[in-house]
Amino acid sequence: GENVEQHPSTLSVQEGDSAVIKCTYSDSASNYFPWYKQELGKRPQLIIDIRSNVGEKKDQRIAVTLNKTAKHFSLHITETQPEDSAVYFCAAEEYGNKLVFGAGTILRVKS
């Protein structure tokens, strides 16, 4: 089955700097890669996703890149703000609608 690895496990950046979180996956058949943000005590919420027919997708300060050959994808947050502090999860679709999640990255933005 699909295996998703996520790095780093924790990331601390200064407000205004960029943050990058990286994930690798094992199943070359996976075609959908979402990112979720989870604030303390709340539910995971979808913030951006990418399908395998594109290499990059951007939404304001957030972007995701995908390299299908290398089987890795990354989340990029520019001009970080304190409200970006949260746990971020990457995921890959295994089959049907089933998502396999990475272990999560705790992002702390210092002001």
Partner 1 sequence: DAGVIQSPRHEVTEMGQEVTLRCKPISGHNSLFWYRQTMMRGLELLIYFNNNVPIDDSGMPEDRFSAKMPNASFSTLKIQPSEPRDSAVYFCASNKDGSYGYTFGSGTRLTVV
Q: Give the whole-angstrom CA distance, residue 30 versus residue 3.
A: 11
Nearer to partner 1, 48 or 109 (CB): 48
Q: How far is CA 28 from the centre of its chain?
A: 18
The footprint of partner 1 on this chain (CB under 8 A) covers a number of residues equal to 20
Instruction: Say which residue the tokens 């690798």 belong to.
Output: 24
Asked if 100 interacts with partner 1 (CB under 8 A), we say yes
Which residue in 22, 26, 27, 49 binds partner 1 (CB under 8 A)? 49
Asked if 43 interacts with partner 1 (CB under 8 A), we say yes
**Who contacts 32 (Cβ-Cβ below 8 Å, separation ≥6)?**
49, 50, 51, 52, 92, 93
* Helix%, strand%, coil% for the chain, nearest 5: 5, 55, 40
Asked if 102 interacts with partner 1 (CB under 8 A), we say yes
Residues 18-37 that bind partner 1 (CB under 8 A): 32, 34
Cβ atoms of residues 20 and 12 within 8 Å: no
Asked if 51 interacts with partner 1 (CB under 8 A), we say yes
**What is the nearest approach in angstroms of partner 1 to the Cβ of residue 111?**
26
Binding site for partner 1 (CB under 8 A): 32, 34, 42-46, 49, 51, 89, 93, 96-104
